[in-house]
């Protein structure tokens, strides 16, 4: 766990590339708003010849290519005849080879890959004009102390923070606050004054619990499936106890408050975006594959490829069975947050 969390690489049928259309739809839905805010609020030296753009948590594509192109197109409407350099950042375990081999032909920018955790600095001081980060801020940098320990009062029996225990949730939230703070501090050093940071992702409607959402339910099914495999002796119980997903879905107001408390940025927009694909479709195969692409890699890393495949067979069965439940899931918020570096 910790910052080594990565999407399923490569270009295969189960890869994140193939099953991240849901995530990719948000930036497309947000395009008009992005154009509008960049046009109105981006405040960089117009005599510059070079504009640097970064995607923090780019994965292996192709969503990142859409995201940076949308940003570049928006900037080009305002600043003509510039050169663009794009920094694709993700952890050093990310599949950069696939990213590089699938870069868009005829792109109008110089592409670079930047390996390293986005909770710390990955770019030089005041070198960046626009940053974007899509579906990445729900990752936390480590699992809080006590969560994995069966003898601890905050031992979490689940593989994630469902929101069912207040004490557990508080620990996850504290870690989330620290991590988002670290992310913003690093970006505030990398961005030039007047530069912009676009955050896209999902969060909870204030008061909703994670276990009430489609994501929460799907991760519950994954956890239940892993428990079944452990009971059958097909995976090691100790390994399962140690397996906690480093993700936390914040409430809208909490996220806003963390940004305000950081103090380095002005919030230029905090928009709920109506997603091209709306909520997840109620389709067993779609849901199973989407959560296999995003979480299968870390399950395979912990339990092996075979156990991962078995897990998702069970997940598929459970999803099918639970479709009526999933139909009643509480919606989340898909957001576009635009921050300007003070």
Q: In this chain, which stretch among 22-30, 103-111, 286-294, 334-342 interacts with a copy of itself, using CB under 8 A?
A: 103-111
Position 48 contacts a copy of itself (CB under 8 A)? no
Position 120 contacts a copy of itself (CB under 8 A)? no
Q: At what angle do helices 284-303 and 214-231 cross, to 10 degrees?
A: 50
Position 2 contacts a copy of itself (CB under 8 A)? no
Tokens coding 202: 């999902």
Position 276 contacts a copy of itself (CB under 8 A)? no
Position 8 contacts a copy of itself (CB under 8 A)? no
* DSSP state letter for 139: B
Q: Which is nearer to a copy of itself, 109 or 210 (CB)?
A: 109
Tokens coding 71: 């940003």
Position 65 contacts a copy of itself (CB under 8 A)? no
Nearest distance, CB of residue 87 and a copy of itself, angstroms: 6
Q: Which residues, other chains included, contact 143 with Cβ-Cβ below 8 Å and sequence gap of 6+? A: 1, 175, 244, 246
Q: In this chain, which stretch among 65-73, 97-105, 193-201, 255-263 interacts with a copy of itself, using CB under 8 A?
A: 97-105
- Contact code string over 126-155 relative to a copy of itself, x by CB under 8 A: xx----------------------------
Cα–Cα dist 279/295, whole Å: 19
- In sign, the C-alpha dihedral spanning 220, 292, 150, 174 is negative
On whether the CB atoms of residues 312 and 296 are closer than 8 A, the answer is: yes
Position 115 contacts a copy of itself (CB under 8 A)? yes
Cα–Cα dist 241/227, whole Å: 10
On whether the CB atoms of residues 315 and 225 are closer than 8 A, the answer is: yes
Phi, psi (5° rounding) for residue 21?
Answer: -65, -35
Nearest distance, CB of residue 126 and a copy of itself, angstroms: 7
Q: Which of 1, 18, 35, 100 binds a copy of itself (CB under 8 A)?
A: 100
Q: Which is nearer to a copy of itself, 90 or 169 (CB)?
A: 90
Q: Which is nearer to a copy of itself, 94 or 284 (CB)?
A: 94
Could you tell me which residues are beta bridge partners of residue 139? 247
Position 333 contacts a copy of itself (CB under 8 A)? no
On whether the CB atoms of residues 236 and 190 are closer than 8 A, the answer is: no
On whether the CB atoms of residues 202 and 134 are closer than 8 A, the answer is: no
Q: Which of 122, 214, 337, 339 binds a copy of itself (CB under 8 A)?
A: 122
Q: Which of 43, 110, 261, 285 binds a copy of itself (CB under 8 A)?
A: 110
Q: Which residues, other chains included, contact 106 with Cβ-Cβ below 8 Å and sequence gap of 6+? A: none
Q: Are strands 110-115 and 128-134 parallel, antiparallel or unpaired?
A: unpaired
Q: Which is nearer to a copy of itself, 101 or 272 (CB)?
A: 101
Position 50 contacts a copy of itself (CB under 8 A)? yes
Q: In this chain, which stretch among 14-22, 122-130, 257-265, 268-276 interacts with a copy of itself, using CB under 8 A?
A: 122-130
Position 231 contacts a copy of itself (CB under 8 A)? no
* DSSP state letter for 76: H
Rule CB under 8 A: which residues touch a copy of itself? Answer: 49-50, 83, 85, 87, 92-93, 95-97, 100-101, 103, 110-116, 121-127
């Amino acid at each position: 766990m910790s910052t080594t969390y990565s999407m399923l690489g490569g270009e295969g049928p189960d890869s994140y590339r193939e099953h991240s259309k849901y995530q990719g739809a948000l930036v497309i839905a947000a395009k008009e708003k992005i154009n509008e805010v960049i046009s109105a609020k981006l405040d960089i030296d117009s005599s510059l010849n070079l504009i640097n753009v970064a995607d923090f948590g780019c994965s292996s594509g192709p969503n990142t290519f859409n995201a940076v192109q949308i940003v570049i197109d928006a900037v080009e409407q305002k600043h003509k005849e510039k050169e663009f350099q794009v920094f694709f950042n993700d952890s050093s375990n990310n599949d950069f080879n696939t990213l590089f081999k699938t870069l868009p032909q005829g792109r109008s920018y110089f592409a670079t890959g930047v390996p390293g955790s986005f909770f710390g600095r990955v770019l030089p001081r005041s070198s960046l004009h626009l940053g974007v980060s899509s579906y990445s801020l729900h990752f936390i940098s480590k699992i809080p102390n006590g969560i994995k320990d069966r003898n601890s009062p905050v031992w979490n029996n689940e593989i994630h923070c469902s929101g069912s225990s207040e004490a557990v949730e508080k620990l996850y939230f504290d870690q989330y606050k620290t991590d988002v703070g670290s992310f913003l501090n690093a970006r505030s050093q990398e961005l030039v004054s007047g530069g912009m940071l676009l955050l896209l992702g999902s969060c909870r409607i204030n008061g909703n619990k994670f276990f009430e959402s489609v994501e929460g339910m799907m991760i519950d099914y994954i956890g239940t499936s892993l428990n079944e495999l452990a009971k059958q002796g097909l995976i090691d119980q100790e390994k399962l106890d140690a397996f906690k997903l480093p993700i936390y879905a914040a409430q809208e107001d909490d996220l806003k408050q963390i940004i305000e408390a950081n103090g380095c940025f002005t919030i230029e927009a905090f928009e709920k975006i109506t997603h091209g694909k709306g909520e997840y479709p109620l389709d067993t195969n779609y849901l199973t594959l989407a959560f296999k692409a995003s979480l299968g890699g870390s399950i395979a890393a912990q339990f092996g490829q075979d156990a991962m495949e078995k897990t998702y067979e069970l997940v598929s069965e459970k999803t099918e069975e639970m479709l009526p439940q999933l139909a009643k899931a509480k919606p989340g918020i898909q957001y576009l947050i635009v921050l300007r570096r003070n």
